[in-house]
């Protein structure tokens, strides 16, 4: 009896030795690269994260933390493809309305509790509960989970949500309509499980480092608001033996240029490249300045509602303005970070989306300018009767540069007189959402990797359609796309309609532009959503 | 004097109430709300959130509940932007940080400014005076948002002496650059005020009398000239002290110190009503307090002033 604690201690030590330092100063099991002694990744975030509660988090930097702390049913690999997470896989019923996920039996919470299907049921009900009032509850509605919308509206009790756990290892989800990309959506933070006992015990404070219990590859060990948060390897994680990185540190650095200086000083492994500096940094730090496509677009939207200007109701005016924007100058001279000229709303990098041949894309800029002049003249605008309007954007140096460039292009080529107005972010959103503008900046990042996350925005019922564009054909096609087997043909048609109607002027598609230390291995450059997991990263010995 | 202080404190209460009311209604007038976002929330979700925070109540009720919370529970309300923290947490975290670097900067700026100012006045029209005047003019022309990134480039990147930002519980390495960046322009202002005021005092008749009596120069300066010469400096130090300890958003932004200045600006941009009100009350209270202290100090410095 007496020796039991000693044996236990010895076993624990052995276990720690086996899992703790298996990789330090070793080699990477797949690539064979020599690994650094210190497995710590430090990166810059612009702002303090909103929360690390999976059901509440709404910002990108918070989601990055949550993705390390918690593990959902499925994960993404370096290419953004689905790979098993807490679930080993799933089956779909013939009517495509029921998904059954099988959970792995060795998944554990960081306090040693097993992860069971009931934890997911609890979390998903929590996400839609009016009592929690999650700002991301709409995501569960978007997932078409049975009764989600009615629960959020308060018409039906939370227990009616279409999710159940027949046993600890099985999670059954019922949808209100078939949704081809449903499995993609369970990689989103809102769907991650929480430990019911911990949430109930600590209330809103359960996410503090001293209280939090999580099931991901990392646990939150330190959080100093507006300064930094630290997450460390979770020895209870089911795949802990394959996790190489010991610690990930997020530093809040508001100023982009200071962050770059600190990267140069070696304090950071990753930071964003300020607009226009990419070519220089690429020369000075070859291989460390990287750029890759992102799932986001940048556009200007015409106000087509009653309150919008008369001139914009003429498609020739809208088309002329869209044609005369020389996107190459914006992407190559202003931003200069590998951004892609946009002629469609959906970025080319979107999964299973092929950019359709829209007319404007295949023309030279000289041809576009000539056509723009003709169209605007036909619409009745010229030197005696110049087109005048106001364009608004939210206060930011790069938005300003782009707006100034666009207004100059219009002035020189078409004699159009634009007034520029910048607004503080929330004021801008309020004005845009209430159609208090003529031409407004817009940008959208996909919620999931499928074209409908963009194209739904231009349907009449969409709450994000600030220009109030309405085309019955687009609405009908997008409804059809929800249940169709072959969606590509539908999305091509929709993009064609948009190219003909020009409710928006696509400017460019985003690029992720980073300074990434050459000793960081495993960064998922090909994951267009940039859903990265610390457990897949490693530091290479220099 | 005691009666005067009590009277001032009593006047401060309605001042603060007016401040709270004004701030509360100005926030309501500002376009957008705490939950305005690029992805507008479905109306039902928005309604749920507003009900959770009592934002669906009439304004007077919200105002009343807020004041009752402060008076009965010392509870300044929740943060809408950060759910796991309330206003008390945010102030309790950010204010000590700001207070630390603000206080140190204040002491540095006051000592350096007064020292240089007095030295320049005594050595009027010598090379020391010219350097002091030249340096203070350049320091004032260099705003801290320019100086901060330059400091990081020099001390962190080029020399590698100091960490580029963060707080780390206030270790000295993390304090050096914030203190330099925050105090430099104040050193310049205090130097200029001290110098001109000292020059004026040294030219006054009672100093001539002191010198005529044959007092040594150091006694003339420190015993007789210093006190009256400090009056303009002290009136400048009161508001300066409040400005310094209530933080500088520039310092928090460039050095990631996590102080209250950044939290205040964020709360305005996020329409985080309770945080904004809480910090405003803190700033207002400190301003009232230090204005009072300055007036009391005046009475000590200048025997002609009586309350």
- Cβ–Cβ below 8 Å for B156 and A261: yes
Q: What is the pLDDT of residues B52-70, one digit of tens each?
A: 888 889 988 988 888 899 8
B83, A228: Cβ pair inside 8 Å? no
Å between A258 CA and nearest CA of chain B: 6
Per-residue pLDDT at B302 exceeds 90 = no
Whole-number pLDDT of residue A13: 42
Q: Answer yes or no: are the C-beta atoms of A237 and A216 closer than 8 Å.
A: yes
- Predicted confidence at residue A268, as pLDDT, reads 96
The answer to whether B45 contacts A135, with C-beta atoms less than 8 Å apart, is yes
**Which residue do the tokens 């994000």 mark?**
A464
Residues of chain B contacting A204 with CB distance shorter than 8 Å: 83-84
The per-residue pLDDT for A448 is 86
Contact status, residue B52 vs residue B60, Cβ threshold 8 Å: no
Helix, strand, or coil (residue A354): coil
Is residue B47 included in any domain, yes or no? no
Question: Which structural domain range is residue B192 located in?
Answer: 94-301
Q: Is B175 inside a domain boundary?
A: yes
Q: Is B281 within a domain?
A: yes
Split at pLDDT 50, 70, 90, the class of B307 is low
The number of domains in chain B is 1
pLDDT per residue, tens digit, chain A (542 aa), is 334 444 444 444 444 444 444 565 588 988 889 999 999 999 999 988 989 999 999 888 999 999 999 999 999 999 989 999 999 999 999 999 999 999 999 999 999 999 999 999 999 999 999 889 888 898 999 899 999 999 998 899 999 999 999 999 999 999 999 888 899 999 999 999 999 999 999 998 999 999 999 999 999 999 998 899 999 999 999 999 999 999 999 999 988 999 999 999 999 999 999 988 999 999 999 999 999 999 999 999 999 999 999 999 999 999 999 999 999 999 999 999 999 999 999 999 898 888 888 999 999 999 999 999 999 999 999 888 999 999 999 998 889 999 999 999 999 999 999 999 999 998 999 999 999 999 999 999 988 888 999 999 999 988 889 999 999 999 999 999 888 878 899 999 999 999 999 999 999 999 999 999 999 999 999 898 899 999 999 999 98
Q: What confidence tier does B172 reach under pLDDT thresholds 50, 70, 90?
A: very high
**What angle separates helix B87-122 from helix B260-270, to the nearest 10 degrees?**
130
| Closest to A356 measured CA to CA, from A506, A512, A530, A181 | A506
Find the CB nearest B258 among A51, A224, A257: A224
Q: Is the pTM of this model over 0.90?
A: no
| B17 pLDDT more than 70 | yes
pLDDT above 80 for B305:
no
**Would B58 be classed as within a structural domain?**
no
Q: Who among A154, A208, A227 is closest to B44 (CB)?
A: A154
| Domain assignment of residue B130, yes or no | yes
Binary contact (B31, A426; C-beta < 8 A): yes
Verify whether the Cβ–Cβ distance B156 to A267 is below 8 Å: yes
Distance, in Å, from the CA atom of A455 to the CA atom of A539, rounded to the nearest integer, reads 39
**Do the domain assignments include residue B88?**
no
Beta strand residue intervals within A36-81, DSSP E: 40-45, 74-76
The distance of B244 to chain A (nearest Cα, Å) reads 19
Q: What pLDDT is stored for residue A4 in this prediction? A: 42
pLDDT (0 to 100) of residue A536: 96
Of A58, A153, A427, the CB nearest to B44: A153
Q: Tell me, yes or no, whether B262 lies in a domain.
A: yes
Tens of pLDDT along B82-124? 888 899 999 999 999 999 999 999 999 999 999 999 999 999 8
Q: What's the confidence (pLDDT) of residue A406?
A: 97
Integer Cα distance of A373 and A381 in angstroms = 9
CATH code assigned at B135: 1.10.3720.10
Give pLDDT, residue A202: 94
- Per-residue pLDDT band for B39 (boundaries 50, 70, 90) equals confident
Tell me if B32 and A153 make a contact (CB, 8 A cut-off).
Answer: no
pLDDT on residue B220: 87
In a domain, B83, yes or no: no
Q: Which of A182, A209, A215, A43 is nearest to A115 (CA)?
A: A215
Extended beta strands in A413-489, E state: 417-423, 439-445
Q: State how far the alpha carbon of A170 is from the alpha carbons of A73, A166, B95, in Å.
A: 11, 6, 49
């Amino acid at each position: 009896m007496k020796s039991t604690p000693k044996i236990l201690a010895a076993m624990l030590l052995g276990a720690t030795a086996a899992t703790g330092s298996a990789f330090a100063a070793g080699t990477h099991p797949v690539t064979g690269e020599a690994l650094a002694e210190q497995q710590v990744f430090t990166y810059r975030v612009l702002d303090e994260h909103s929360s690390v509660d999976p059901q509440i988090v709404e910002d990108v930097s918070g989601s990055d933390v949550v993705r390390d702390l918690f593990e959902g049913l499925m994960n993404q690999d370096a290419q953004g493809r689905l790979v098993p997470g807490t679930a080993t896989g799933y089956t779909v019923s013939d009517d495509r309305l029921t998904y059954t996920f099988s959970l792995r039996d060795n998944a554990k919470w960081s306090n040693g509790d097993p992860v069971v299907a009931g934890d997911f049921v609890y979390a998903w009900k929590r996400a839609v509960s009016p009592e929690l009032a999650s700002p991301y509850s709409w995501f569960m509605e978007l997932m078409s989970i049975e009764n989600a919308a009615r629960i959020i509206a308060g018409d039906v009790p939370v227990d009616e949500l279409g999710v159940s756990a027949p046993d600890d290892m099985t999670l059954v989800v019922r949808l209100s309509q078939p949704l081809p990309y449903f499995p993609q959506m369970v990689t989103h933070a809102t769907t991650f499980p929480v430990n019911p006992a911990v949430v109930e015990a600590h209330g809103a404070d359960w996410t503090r480092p001293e209280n939090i219990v999580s099931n991901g590859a990392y646990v939150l060990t330190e959080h100093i608001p507006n300064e930094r948060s630290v997450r460390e390897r979770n020895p209870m994680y089911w795949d802990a033996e394959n996790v190489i990185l010991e610690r990930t540190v997020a530093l809040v650095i508001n100023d982009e240029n200071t962050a770059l200086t600190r990267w140069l000083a070696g304090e950071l492994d990753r930071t964003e490249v300020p607009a226009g500096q990419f070519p220089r940094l690429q020369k000075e730090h070859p291989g460390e300045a990287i750029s890759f496509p992102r799932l986001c677009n940048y556009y200007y939207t015409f106000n087509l509602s009653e309150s919008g200007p008369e001139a914009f109701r003429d498609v020739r005016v809208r088309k002329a303005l869209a044609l005369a924007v020389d996107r190459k100058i914006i992407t190559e001279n202003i931003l200069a970070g590998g951004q892609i000229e946009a002629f469609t709303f959906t970025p080319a990098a979107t999964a299973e989306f092929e950019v359709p041949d829209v007319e404007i894309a295949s023309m030279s800029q000289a041809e576009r300018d000539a056509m723009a002049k003709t169209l605007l003249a036909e619409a009745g605008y010229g030197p005696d009767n110049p087109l005048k309007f106001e364009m608004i954007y939210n206060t930011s140096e790069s938005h300003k540069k782009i707006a100034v460039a666009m207004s100059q292009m219009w002035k020189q080529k078409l004699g159009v007189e634009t007034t520029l107005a910048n607004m503080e972010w929330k004021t801008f959103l309020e004005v845009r959402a209430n159609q208090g503008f003529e031409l407004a900046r817009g940008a959208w990042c996909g919620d999931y990797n499928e074209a409908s996350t963009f194209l739904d925005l231009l349907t009449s019922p969409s709450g994000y359609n600030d220009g109030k564009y309405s085309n019955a054909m687009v609405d009908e096609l997008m409804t059809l796309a929800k249940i169709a087997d072959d969606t590509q043909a539908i999305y091509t048609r929709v993009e064609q309609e948009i190219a003909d109607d020009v409710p928006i002027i696509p400017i460019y598609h985003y690029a992720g532009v980073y300074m990434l230390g050459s000793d960081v291995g495993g960064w998922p450059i090909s994951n267009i959503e940039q859903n990265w997991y610390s457990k897949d990263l490693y530091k290479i010995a220099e | 004097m005691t009666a005067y202080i009590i009277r001032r404190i009593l006047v401060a209460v309605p001042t603060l109430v007016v401040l709270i009311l004004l701030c509360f209604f100005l926030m309501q007038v500002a376009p957008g709300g705490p939950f305005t976002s690029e992805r507008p929330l479905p109306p039902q979700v928005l309604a749920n959130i507003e009900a959770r925070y009592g934002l669906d109540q009439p304004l007077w009720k919200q105002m009343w509940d807020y004041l009752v919370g402060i008076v009965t529970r010392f509870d300044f309300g929740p943060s809408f932007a950060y759910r796991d923290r309330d206003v008390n947490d945010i102030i309790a975290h950010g204010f000590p940080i700001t207070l630390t670097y603000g206080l140190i900067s204040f002491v540095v700026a006051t000592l350096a400014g007064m020292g240089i100012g007095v030295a320049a006045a005594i050595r009027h029209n010598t090379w020391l005076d010219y350097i002091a005047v030249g340096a203070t003019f350049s320091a004032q022309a260099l705003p801290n948002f320019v100086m901060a990134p330059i400091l990081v480039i020099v001390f962190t990147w080029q020399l590698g002496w100091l960490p580029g930002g963060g707080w780390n519980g206030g270790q000295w390495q993390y304090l050096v650059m914030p203190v330099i960046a925050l105090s430099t322009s104040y050193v310049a202002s205090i130097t200029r005020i001290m110098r001109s005021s000292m020059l004026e005092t040294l030219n006054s008749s009672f100093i001539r009398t002191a010198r005529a009596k044959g007092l040594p120069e150091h006694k003339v300066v420190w015993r007789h000239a210093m006190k009256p010469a400090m009056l303009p400096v002290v009136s400048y130090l009161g508001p300066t002290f409040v400005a310094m300890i209530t933080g500088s958003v520039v310092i928090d932004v460039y050095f990631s110190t996590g102080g209250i200045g950044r939290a205040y600006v964020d709360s305005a941009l996020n329409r985080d009503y309770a945080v904004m009100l809480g910090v405003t009350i803190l700033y207002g209270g400190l301003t009232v307090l230090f204005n009072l202290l300055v007036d009391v100090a005046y009475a000590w410095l200048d025997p002609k002033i009586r309350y």
